[in-house]
Amino acid sequence: MCGIIGYVGPEQAQNFILDGLATLEYRGYDSTGLVVINDDGAKLVRSVGRVSSVRDELAGKPLIGKLGIGHTRWATHGAPLERNAHPHTDSDKQFYVVHNGIVENFQDIKTMLEAQSVTFKSDTDTEVIPQLLAYNYKKLGDVKEAFLKTIRSLKGAYSVVMVTPLSPDTMYAARLSSPLVIGIGDKENFIASDPTPIMEHTKKVIFLNDYEAAVITAESCEIIHIKKGKLAKRIPEELEYDPEQALLGDHPNFMIKEVYEAPQTVRSALLGRLRVEQKLIKLGGLELVEEQLRYIDRIIIVSCGTSFYASLVGEYLIEEIAGIPVEVQQASEFKYRVEPLNRSTMVIAVSQSGETADTLAALEKVAGYGVLRLGVVNAVGSSIARLTDAGVYCHAGSEQSVASTKAFIAQVTVLALIALYLSDGNTPLYEEMINELDKLPAKIEAILKLEPAIKKLAKKYSHHRDFLYIGRRYMYPVALEGALKLKELSYIHAEGYAGGEMKHGPLAMIDENFPTMALALDGELFEKTMSNIQEIKARGGPVIAICNDPAKLKDLADDVIKIPKTIEQLQPLLAAIPLQLFAYHCALALGRNVDRPRNLAKSVTVE
């Protein structure tokens, strides 16, 4: 949530800031702002709405200055209004701050400052930072010391970047539980919430760690440990980057681009790991902890949203293939739950962004228990990737649309590999799964060709206010994920249910206005799903069935989407694709913004 960007160097800061903010807009898009510092002081522009509106406002009258910071907001405290947009400043307009996260003790700080006659202008928690900084500066007379003292007073989660005309060639930054990466250029330096906007300028980066602050000029970058007050020695790392990833190409939006990347996503996740000839799974990231893995007798997977549903598929896979008990917990619940944990428990965090606050907190919770912590993460170098003991990257490339699509595909692929790896070959499914995994990209390509037909179905059904998704066994998590896609993209109310639960309540909702998407693929429980469809039809409910053999649903389903066959364990990787396309086209039919659904942000870095 919230995107932060900053520049110091020989160029005009505004250009990098506006381009960078556009790249970071997936993190929040309620309002936008930037401040640029020059010899005359600070120039601040803030606006409700997207980066493009600020760009339009500045066309022909750019902000001049070679130091500046910007912010794109996802509102937590205070409505999306100009006064709540970042950067925030103090009453004397000396310190300008952008912030991502939540200052939990903001009310205490505010009360203290109000008692000193400080007047606040916004409804945000963030404003206490520049106001406290101004207060500390009056006492200390030194910008850096005042900044560090202010940061030490903050509780909660933050990434903060500050500039001031009092120190017109320096950016000050700090991080606790919210990402910030510094780009080290040639006589210019950059800062951002994620590396994407920086990478076309430099590949040398430093990811700030928790409790680290940075004092950044065009020629230097000093990292200070906030608690110890000492310099921290950090060596920049080189990141790999494919600039094509960030471009739309011929696609109208990122969501459809990313859905169409699914075949390549599976190939990338399997590359070098699935050795079909040798019937071998090689996961270099797990070899480091191979010894510890032998003693694992319980696995807890923590995650949120789509990653949670991918984890549920992982639960079925690991239990069936590796024979290890698994439970999947929503990270937001896990972190507050009291339960026994011991050294033979392994915790796997599944996350596309690697920055989800709840998932990070879940990992932090188990830090003292000696449990092995693995990451199944897409964003390289992200907080979760760095906090875990070992892991397997998803290699899906940058996912920019708020709705997660190819990341789900990559996560399930990686979890299938982990299940096979943990099985040590001791499963009758071993060879068959290896062979089938190899065939999946071509099968997904065949499904993508169904897009025109799915678009027609979406047009037919998108006027409905409610939708039910049902599936059994491996199709149950896919039903949950399909319902999430529909609701977040089209705002149609959708619920996912295990088919077996229908009689226990949901059947009461069914009538001619309440359609069901039934995941009726061939497999052990096909007949049982057919019974569910019969029961829905008997109550007048329209049914769309995702199936392998439409003849089996003749005279029963109102509409069918036929997809290629694979083994049940891998069906989620195929069945998810038509559901993504269906949600996408329903959203378009209803005129929704598919890449930026209302009220959401791509990376949920606050609790």
Q: What amino acid positions are annotated as catalytic residues? A: 2, 602
Which segments of 125-261 does DSSP mark as H helices, in order?
Answer: 128-140, 143-153, 254-260
CA distance 111 to 413: 51
Return the SS3 of 367: helix
Closest to ligand M6R by CB, 129 or 256:
256
Tell me the H-state helices in 390-538.
406-423, 430-448, 451-461, 475-490, 526-538
Hey, how many other C-beta atoms are within 10 angstroms of the C-beta on 61?
8
Question: Smallest distance, Å, CB 603 to ligand M6R?
Answer: 6
Site string for ligand M6R, 248-287 (x = CB under 6 A): ----------------------------------------
Q: Which is nearer to ligand M6R, 122 or 352 (CB)?
A: 352
User: Whose structure tokens read 């990209």?
Assistant: 441
Give the nearer residue to ligand M6R in terms of CB position, either 130 or 195.
195
Coil vs helix vs strand at 135:
helix
CA–CA separation, 310 and 396 (whole Å): 14
- Taking the complex as a whole, how short is the minimal distance between the CB of residue 352 and ligand M6R, in angstroms? 3
Q: Does 604 bind ligand M6R (CB under 6 A)?
A: yes
Per CB under 6 A, the list member of 179, 183, 305, 482 interacting with ligand M6R is 305
Of the pair 360, 530, the CB lying nearest ligand M6R is at: 360
Q: Does 356 interact with ligand M6R (rule: CB under 6 A)?
A: yes
**Partners of 225 in the β-ladder:** 212
Coil, strand or helix at 453:
helix
Of 311, 368, 365, 298, which is closest to residue 336 (Cα–Cα)? 365
User: Could you tell me the smallest distance in angstroms from the CB atom of residue 198 to ligand M6R?
Assistant: 20
Of the candidates 533, 494, 502, 517, the one whose C-alpha atom is nearest the C-alpha of residue 575 is 517
Rule CB under 6 A: is residue 352 a binding residue for ligand M6R? yes
Residue 59: CB minimum distance to ligand M6R, A? 32
Q: Find the binding residues for ligand M6R in span 45-64 (CB under 6 A).
A: none
- What single letter denotes the amino acid at residue 338? V
Which range, of 132-140, 206-214, 418-426, 599-607, touches ligand M6R by CB under 6 A? 599-607
Label residue 339 exposed, middle or buried (CB < 10 Å: 0-12, 13-18, 19+): exposed
* 132 within 8 A of 88, measured Cβ to Cβ: no
Report the residue number, 21 or 407, with the smaller CB distance to ligand M6R: 407
**Phi–psi pair at 557, nearest 5 degrees:** -80, 145
Exactly one of 180, 304, 326, 557 binds ligand M6R (CB under 6 A); which one? 304
**Segment lying near ligand M6R (by CB under 6 A), choices 121-129, 300-308, 469-477, 552-560:** 300-308
Q: Is residue 488 near ligand M6R by the rule CB under 6 A?
A: yes
**Contact yes or no for 390/292 (Cβ under 8 A):** no
Q: List beta partners, residue 103.
A: 156
Binding mask 113-132 for ligand M6R (x = CB under 6 A): --------------------
What is the nearest approach in angstroms of ligand M6R to the Cβ of residue 607? 12
375 φ/ψ angles, rounded to the nearest 5 degrees: -120, 135
Give Cα separations from 356 to 135, 156, 351, 359, 456 (angstroms).
Answer: 33, 15, 7, 5, 36
**Would you give the DSSP letter of residue 388?**
S
Distance from C-alpha of 489 to C-alpha of 580, rounded to nearest angstrom:
10
* Closest chain position to ligand M6R (CB): 305
For residues 315 and 538, what is the distance between their CA atoms, to the nearest angstrom? 34
Given 150, 202, 307, 462, the residue binding ligand M6R (CB under 6 A): 307
What's the rounded Cα separation, in Å, for the pair 398 and 406? 10
φ, ψ dihedrals at 438, nearest 5°: -60, -30
Neighbours of 576 (CB within 10 A): 29
Tell me the closest approach of the beta carbon of residue 30 to ligand M6R, in angstroms.
16
Give the integer Cα–Cα distance in Å for 238 and 218.
19
Kindly state whether residue 306 participates in binding ligand M6R, applying the rule CB under 6 A. Answer: yes
Only one of the segments 298-306, 322-330, 332-340, 451-459 lies at the binding site for ligand M6R (rule: CB under 6 A); that segment is: 298-306
Cβ 381 to ligand M6R, closest distance in Å?
A: 14
CB of 457 to ligand M6R, least distance (A): 21
Contacts of 449 (CB under 8 A, 6+ apart): none
Q: Does 31 bind ligand M6R (CB under 6 A)?
A: no
Cβ nearer to ligand M6R, comparing 17 with 347: 347
Cβ proximity to ligand M6R: between 322 and 357 the closer is 357
Shortest distance, CB of residue 562 to ligand M6R, whole angstroms? 26
Stretch that binds ligand M6R, among 242-250, 293-301, 349-357, 426-434 (CB under 6 A): 349-357
Ramachandran class of 424: left when φ > 0, alpha when ψ lies in -120 to 50, beta otherwise: left
Q: Using the minimum distance from each CB to ligand M6R, give the nearer residue, 396 or 553.
A: 396
What 3-state class would DSSP assign to 205?
strand
| x-or-dash string of contact with ligand M6R, 391-420, rule CB under 6 A | -----------xxx----------------
Cis geometry, peptide bond prior to residue 87 (ω within 30 degrees of 0): yes
Number of residues in contact with ligand M6R under rule CB under 6 A: 16
CA gap 390, 286 in Å, rounded? 6
Q: Which is nearer to ligand M6R, 165 or 305 (CB)?
A: 305
DSSP 208: P
For ligand M6R, which residue of 84, 311, 351, 532 counts as binding (CB under 6 A)?
A: 351
Q: C-beta of 336: minimal distance to ligand M6R in Å?
A: 18
Q: Which stretch binds ligand M6R (CB under 6 A): 148-156, 257-265, 549-557, 596-604?
A: 596-604
By CB under 6 A, which span of 107-115, 302-310, 313-321, 462-470 interacts with ligand M6R? 302-310
Which is nearer to ligand M6R, 132 or 387 (by Cβ)?
387
Q: How far is the CB of 465 from ligand M6R (least distance, A)?
A: 21
What are the DSSP E strand ranges found in 49-155?
Answer: 67-73, 88-89, 96-103
Of 218-226, 245-253, 255-263, 346-354, the segment contacting ligand M6R by CB under 6 A is: 346-354
Interaction of residue 332 with ligand M6R, rule CB under 6 A: no
Q: Does 170 bind ligand M6R (CB under 6 A)?
A: no
What are the residues binding ligand M6R (CB under 6 A)? Answer: 304-307, 351-353, 356, 359, 402-404, 488, 600, 603-604
